[in-house]
Amino acid sequence: METLLLDADAVDEHSPTTAVVDAVEAAFAAHARGDTVMPAKSYVDLPRYDGDFRSMPAYLDAGDWDAAGLKWVNSHTENRRRHDLPTVMATMCYSAPETGLLLSIMDGTTLTTKRTGAAAAVATDRLAVRDATTLGLVGAGAQSHAQLDAILTVRPIETVVVADADPDRAAAFVEAVRDRVDARVGSIPEAVACDVVSTTTPVRDPIVDAADVGAHTHVNAVGADAPGKHELDDDLLAAAKLVVDDREQCTHSGEINVPYAAGRLTDDDIHAALGTVVIGEATGRTPADGVTVFDSTGLAVQDVAAARVVYERASAAGAGVAFDLLGR
């Protein structure tokens, strides 16, 4: 009857990549089958503090297990300068669906990073060419590491090209991963010519041109998570086989939100939601496909599925700090 408190290190230690990828895949499938409850993300705007809170609740029934939880995440743009705190922080509350007992309070920032990489791996497995061996990364932040870790579980990546506005950060990424892959710093055109590409930047003006992308490249568009953000040019999106994690979220705040609002893209341009591809209701990559794009905004069911992985493994290992929240 106790609640388990898990910090970032514990979440990282007890979220093996393969297990998280499998859990996120199950979450996509449950969502496509209609076996989830996932209210829209709600916002608490705090303009006096240059920030906001977002709540992301969800329940999913994966068949042989179910799970529920709530991610509470902030975005305070002045945190670094004013308070020496991260701009974005997240906390995951993981609960037992049957009783409502709060099973765990865990770091949600590390959890988010890992489930985002896992979602790209699920998409890559369905949409990239089977013999993909090269990965291009546009952006060399924390998410770039999660993308590489997860995509390595579904494709035999041998070569990585990373492009970043900060050359020192790109060089640090190469140094960190060179024991696993042949990695080098390159330009954006060099990165997006690879078999698989993940873009993880916060830009509002597209930095990936259609002319630079490989003829059969798969792109995981991860960076756009709010209205106005936009990494890939409209011509690329219009020509690609376009798969989204959730139609409503993507048209509002995903990679396609800008051209969709402008009427450059319509519902007819969206091939499918990824969950329908996972369960076989829609096609993934076919021999006739050229460029494919996965628009990833992040779903609360992914957080809940990943949290279950962490909780089950941490509990079995006796990790974290257990406390009696109910006072019984």
β-partners of residue 69 are 58, 94
Q: What pLDDT sits at residue 115?
A: 98
Q: Is residue 72 part of a domain?
A: yes
- Residue 54 annotated as binding site: no
pLDDT, tens only, 221-251: 999 988 999 999 999 999 999 999 999 999 9
Q: Is residue 283 part of a domain?
A: yes
Half-sphere exposure (Cβ direction) of 258: Cα atoms closer than 13 Å: 17
Q: Specify whether 309 is located in the same domain as 273.
A: no
As a whole number, mean pLDDT of residues 191-199 equals: 98
The pLDDT confidence band at residue 49, using thresholds 50, 70 and 90, is very high
Q: What pLDDT sits at residue 6?
A: 98
Q: How many domains does the chain have?
A: 2
188-192 contacts, C-beta under 8 A, 24 or more apart = 188/138, 188/163, 188/212, 190/136, 190/161, 190/163, 191/136, 191/137, 191/138, 191/161, 191/162, 191/163, 192/136, 192/138, 192/217, 192/219
The Cβ of residue 160 has, within 10 Å, a number of other Cβ atoms equal to 27
pLDDT, tens only, 69-99: 999 999 898 999 999 999 889 999 999 999 9
Q: Specify whether 54 is located in the same domain as 126.
A: no
Alpha helices in 218-299 (DSSP H): 234-239, 247-253, 257-261, 274-278
- Residue 143 annotated as binding site: yes
Report which residue type is found at 190. E
As a whole number, mean pLDDT of residues 49-67 equals: 96
As a whole number, mean pLDDT of residues 253-280 equals: 97
Q: Specify whether 77 is located in the same domain as 166.
A: no
- Residue 115 annotated as binding site: yes
Q: Specify whether 148 is located in the same domain as 35.
A: no
pLDDT score of 266 more than 90: yes
Q: Specify whether 64 is located in the same domain as 174.
A: no
Pairing outcome for strands 321-323 and 134-138: unpaired
pLDDT score of 201 more than 80: yes
Q: Specify whether 176 is located in the same domain as 248.
A: yes
Residues belonging to the active site: 71
Q: CA 108, CA 88: separation in Å to the nearest integer?
A: 10
Q: Whose CA is closest to 29, among 65, 72, 56, 69?
A: 65
Range of the structural domain that residue 242 is part of: 118-295
Q: Is residue 267 part of a domain?
A: yes
Q: Specify whether 215 is located in the same domain as 286.
A: yes
Which residues have C-beta within 8 Å of that of residue 6, sequence separation ≥ 6? 14, 104, 105, 106, 107, 310, 311, 314, 319, 320
Kindly report the CATH number assigned to the domain that includes residue 36. Answer: 3.30.1780.10
Contact 5, 325 (CB under 8 A): no
pLDDT, tens only, 88-146: 899 999 999 999 999 999 999 999 999 999 999 999 999 999 999 999 999 999 899 99
Contact 201, 231 (CB under 8 A): yes
Please name the residue that has the structure tokens 């770091």. Answer: 107
Q: Is residue 318 part of a domain?
A: yes
Q: Is residue 328 part of a domain?
A: no
Q: CA 294, CA 245: separation in Å to the nearest integer?
A: 8
Kindly report the CATH number assigned to the domain that includes residue 189. Answer: 3.40.50.720
Confirm whether pTM is higher than 0.85. yes
Q: What pLDDT sits at residue 313?
A: 98
pLDDT score of 253 more than 80: yes
Number of residues in the chain: 328
- Residue 223 annotated as binding site: yes
pLDDT, tens only, 284-328: 999 999 999 999 999 999 999 999 999 999 999 999 999 999 887
pLDDT score of 191 more than 80: yes
Q: CA 324, CA 195: separation in Å to the nearest integer?
A: 50
Q: Specify whether 15 is located in the same domain as 70.
A: yes
